[in-house]
Amino acid sequence: MHSATPAIAMSLFLSQMLLLPLLLLAVAPAVPDSGCQTRCGDVEIPYPFGIGTNCSREGQAYICNITESGLQKPFAGNVEVLNILLEMGQVRMLNPVSSACYSPNYNNVNYNRWRLNLEGTPYRFSNLLNKFTAIGCDTLAYIIDDHWSSISYQSGCVSMCRDEESIVSDSCSGMGCCQTSIPKNLRYYRVWFDGNFNNADTWRFSNCSYAALLEADWFQFNTSYITTSQLMQINGDGRVPVVLDWAIGHETCEVASHNLSSYACISNNSACIDSSNGPGYLCNCSTGYQGNPYVSNGCQDIDECNQQSNPCSDGICQNLPGNYSCHCPEGTHGDAYNGTCTPNQKLSLAVKAVIGTSISLIFLLVFGMCICMIYQRRKLIQSRKRYFSEHGGMQLREEMRLQSLAFRIFSKEELERATNRFDKNRILGQGGYGTVYKGDMGDDQFVAIKQPKVINERQKKEFGKEMLILSQVNHRNIVKLLGCCLEVEVPMLVYEFVPNGNLFELIHSRNIDNLPLAVRLNIARDSADALAYLHYSASPPIIHGDVKSANILLHENFTAKVSDFGASRLNPKDEEQFATLVQGTCGYLDPEYLQTCKLTEKSDVYSFGVVLLELLTRRKAIYFGENERETSLASNFILAKKEDRLQELLDNQVTSEGDAELIGRIGELAVQCLSVRGEERPTMKDVADQLNNMGKLHPVPWTPPNAEDIESFLPVPSDAQTSTGNTSYIQEVALLIEYAR
Ligand SMILES: *[C@@H]1O[C@H](CO)[C@@H](O)[C@H](O)[C@H]1NC(C)=O
Ligand SMILES: *[C@@H]1O[C@H](CO)[C@@H](O)[C@H](O)[C@H]1NC(C)=O
Ligand SMILES: *[C@@H]1O[C@H](CO)[C@@H](O)[C@H](O)[C@H]1NC(C)=O
Ligand SMILES: *[C@@H]1O[C@H](CO)[C@@H](O)[C@H](O)[C@H]1NC(C)=O
Ligand SMILES: *[C@@H]1O[C@H](CO)[C@@H](O)[C@H](O)[C@H]1NC(C)=O
Ligand SMILES: *[C@@H]1O[C@H](CO)[C@@H](O)[C@H](O)[C@H]1NC(C)=O
Ligand SMILES: *[C@@H]1O[C@H](CO)[C@@H](O)[C@H](O)[C@H]1NC(C)=O
Ligand SMILES: *[C@@H]1O[C@H](CO)[C@@H](O)[C@H](O)[C@H]1NC(C)=O
Ligand SMILES: *[C@@H]1O[C@H](CO)[C@@H](O)[C@H](O)[C@H]1NC(C)=O
């Protein structure tokens, strides 16, 4: 047994430290008795270690002894145990330092050399944590394993120094101190000093060499270890820590885990690890658990949340079996594991509400607008349909289908396109009745589109029927009605476009000095033919109702085309409406019509008589005569004829062309037409025949002297193709009454 006897007494002897009791152990129980002592002094002794035989696994039993200093210390055999690192599978023990001291008095060396034998125990020297360390200024020390009679391992190191001053503390690298590593699975070592390095020359400042296998991290070289015997006083008698690895049995985990009766890792949540330093295995608690894996339920869940450092930083920690989770506190969000919980936006709820409300409002608005637009569109389409049927569109369409007429029903869009949305620049004429636009149907096809201002209820129903009648009128001297548009409140009429203006402009507005009588006669004849056609060939017969120079349009070569026929059919007939809507134009009105309010073919004859006078005199139907008085052309002409002073009224050119007989005949015809009593007037057919007879004498082709005049009056808005003049109704009615007398 080792004891702390002075080195000199032990000189030349080799002492052995043995973990002796271990070799004598019986089979230990797998589970320790509940009454086992778990502490010895300051040292915790967990299972599989234990105090006494029945308290430990095989080979790990310690003795708890009271040392000379009066403290309780655990011993394995005669080796003091410092502490047990259960998780690492390590035990730290104290092992003595060997020494070789030179004695100048006797010129010899006193050796104190230790050996430590772990054979037959679960321990082996830790190759990672221990270093064989030699100290001295003239030292060569060996660590030797020759337990099984031959040397199986030997290593050593040399430490030299010249004088005290050259030694550096802290540095164990050959000057005063040297170290060497050891191999794995080393279970026995002894120290041996080379006698040739005996400090004989250095004894004045360094008379001893020391060597030991010791825990490298614990050791710190100090110069005083060279010059004094300080090292030999560590732990009282020169014992230094050495780390021993230990393991269970000799098998690997895989093998051992098959024999549950001897398997050491019995705790739930434990794992087996093969020893890294020699045979056998160790047990460890699984991640997230801690405790003793060698006892049942020894591995306990780690409460990570109650550790000094909260793993969740400022997050809320929740412990789980073998794990934990982190949540951000209420009202915050972010990565709770990394401690980046940031407060939620305080306004978020309000903002959300506002955003939500606005979005829904916008949605509602858009939705509403869509509904509104759809509704409007539907209303529009419905109103169009309504107008269409109100204006007799259905019957008209049906009739058209049966008769296959060259008459069209135009859609509102077509007319809008043709007139460029009823552009002001497209207006051909404007009057009380409405507006006439020039419409471009493409391919150089032009039409005149008449947009009346009003229509009364009764007319509405008849409209389609009237259209049907008027559409059948087909004569070269009548402006052709091409179609109509019924989808609007007041139906629109589409006529053939007549390019050369009207007769009123030709004879009253344009500066044409030379207007041959033959041309005038042609125009009169064309117009008369047209009216005769209306009266006798159309079915049913049509009374024009508003014959006047402005309603006689001029086509190419000054062919006359009567327009606005049948206005009577489209206008009110009964007396009660007479005052509000006057049929016809002042100066052309049949006096009989004014009395009877009944429009007849003869009314047209009367009006045509006035037109004849206009042609002869180039005076307007009502003109400013002598004394600046408004004068009726008709009454004045009749008067002049009676008084035989026709020459005053006749146009100069007419008289200058001579043929007084022809002029006389025309004048006579006109006067007959202007008879106050309708019966006395000739029929239109008679008029046309007479004019035809006259016209045959004078077949004269004629072009106006200045052709550009045509261009000059075309775009000018005028009364062309409108039924009433510019004069207001009140004036008109007043005049009518005057002339009726
Ligand atoms: C150890 O256990 C065995 C078997 O259980 C028993 O016979 C023996 O007496 C025990 N020894 C001590 C010291 O308790
Ligand atoms: C323990 O103490 C007893 C009495 O003091 C002594 O006889 C024995 O040798 C000691 N054992 C060890 C290992 O120190
Ligand atoms: C046992 O587990 C602990 C903690 O997980 C670890 O530090 C230690 O190295 C493990 N032991 C072995 C022998 O692997
Ligand atoms: C070695 O020297 C120390 C002090 O330097 C001394 O105390 C010790 O007795 C000496 N040893 C021997 C064997 O002379
Ligand atoms: C060396 O030991 C002496 C005496 O114990 C001590 O005062 C000194 O601090 C130590 N030096 C180092 C570097 O540890
Ligand atoms: C299992 O271990 C027990 C105790 O160590 C031993 O007696 C037994 O022979 C082992 N069984 C096997 C199959 O190794
Ligand atoms: C832990 O072990 C006990 C028996 O020792 C067993 O009843 C229990 O189910 C185990 N628990 C888990 C989670 O494996
Ligand atoms: C612990 O939980 C995290 C996620 O919460 C997961 O990634 C990890 O694998 C878990 N660890 C264990 C040992 O279950
Ligand atoms: C925490 O942050 C680090 C870097 O900032 C990142 O690498 C890590 O994945 C994060 N951990 C978790 C649990 O999100």
pLDDT (tens digit, 9 = 90+) per residue, 535-554? 998 878 888 888 888 889 98
The size of the chain, in residues, is 741
CA nearest ligand 5 atom 1, residue: 222
- Which residues belong to CATH 3.30.200.20 in the chain? 393-496
Asked whether residue 450 is marked as a ligand-binding residue, the answer is: yes
Query: What sign does the CA torsion over 728, 731, 735, 737 have?
Result: positive
What are the C-alpha distances in Å from 645 to residues 639, 648, 670? Answer: 9, 6, 16
Residue 139 forms beta bridges with which residues?
159
First and final CA of the chain: distance in angstroms?
Answer: 171
C-beta of 7 in contact with ligand 4 (< 6 A): no
Q: Whose Cα sits closest to atom 1 in ligand 2?
A: 65
Looking at ligand 8, which residue's alpha carbon is closest to its atom 1?
323
220 lines ligand 5 (CB under 6 A): yes
Which fold, 503-740? Answer: Transferase(Phosphotransferase); domain 1 (1.10.510)
Q: 224: Cβ below 6 Å to ligand 5?
A: yes
The pLDDT confidence band at residue 726, using thresholds 50, 70 and 90, is: very low
CA distance 226 to 230: 9
Spatial distance between the Cα atoms of 159 and 161, rounded to a whole number of angstroms: 7
Q: Whose CA is nearest to atom 2 of ligand 2?
A: 65
Report the alpha-carbon distance of residue 616 to residue 637 in Å, rounded: 10
- Write the residue with the smallest CA distance to atom 7 of ligand 1: 54
Q: pTM score, two decimals? A: 0.54
Which residues on adjacent β-strands are paired with residue 438?
Answer: 448
- pLDDT of res. 529: 92
pLDDT digits (tens, 9 = 90+) for 322-377: 888 888 888 888 887 877 788 877 666 778 888 889 999 999 999 999 999 999 99
Number of other residues whose CB lies within 10 A of the CB of residue 48: 24
Confidence of residue 70 (pLDDT cuts 50, 70, 90): confident
- For residue 467, count CB atoms less than 10 angstroms from its CB and return exposed for 0-12, middle for 13-18, buried for 19 or more: buried
Take atom 11 of ligand 5 and give the residue whose Cα is closest: 222
At 189 the pLDDT is 94
262 CB within 6 A, ligand 6: yes
Cα-to-centroid distance, 28 and ligand 1 (Å): 9
CB 127 within 8 A of CB 183: yes
Does 590 qualify as catalytic in the annotation? no
What residues does ligand 8 touch, defined as CB less than 6 Å away?
287-288, 322-323, 325
- Compute the distance from residue 239 Cα to the ligand 4 centre, in Å: 19
Instruction: Report how far apart, in Å, the C-alpha atoms of 587 and of each of 252, 610, 613, 702 are.
Output: 136, 8, 11, 29
DSSP 8-state symbol, 648: H
Shortest CA distance to 75 belongs to which of 96, 85, 61?
A: 61
CA distance 551 to 725: 11
**Residue 224 CB neighbours (<10 A):** 12
Phi-psi region at 251: left, alpha or beta (left = phi > 0; alpha = psi -120 to 50):
beta
Q: Is 21 in the pocket of ligand 2 (CB under 6 A)?
A: no
Mean pLDDT of 25-54: 74
**CA 169 to ligand 4 center in whole angstroms:** 21
**What digits encode the pLDDT tens for the residues 578-620?**
434 456 778 888 888 888 878 888 988 999 999 989 888 888 8
The sign one gets for the Cα dihedral 516, 519, 520, 522 is positive
Distance 207 CA to ligand 4 centre (A): 6
For ligand 1, pick from 24, 51, 53, 54 the residue to mutate: most ligand atoms within 8 Å of CB: 54
CB of 33 closer than 6 angstroms to any ligand 1 atom: no
Average pLDDT, the chain: 82
Cα 89 to middle of ligand 6, angstroms: 23
Task: Report the separation in Å between the CA atom of 102 and the middle of ligand 4, taken as the mean of its atom positions.
Answer: 8
Q: Is residue 53 lining ligand 1, measured as CB closer than 6 Å?
A: yes
Instruction: Report the CATH number of the 393-496 domain.
Output: 3.30.200.20
The pLDDT > 90 percentage for the chain reads 31
Residue 31 DSSP class: S
Confirm or reject: Cβ of 319 under 6 Å from ligand 5: no
Using alpha carbons, list the distances in angstroms from residue 479 to 434, 447, 459, 523, 526: 18, 11, 22, 14, 12
- Which residue in the list 546, 564, 709, 719 is annotated as catalytic? 546
Phi (first) and psi of residue 221, to 5 degrees: -65, 135
Q: Which ranges in the chain are annotated with CATH 1.10.510.10?
A: 503-740
Which of 41-50, 621-630, 700-709 has the lowest average pLDDT?
700-709
> In the chain, helix, strand, coil percent, each to 5?
35, 25, 40
pLDDT attached to residue 145: 94
Q: How far apart are CA 214 and CA 94, in angstroms?
A: 9
Alpha helix positions (H), 391-422: 393-403, 412-418
**Is a pLDDT exceeding 90 seen at residue 52?**
no
The pair of three-digit structure tokens given for residue 218, joined into one six-digit string: 């614990």
The strand pairing partners of 193, in sequence order, are 141
Confidence of residue 16 (pLDDT cuts 50, 70, 90): low
CB-CB neighbours of 446 under 10 Å: 14
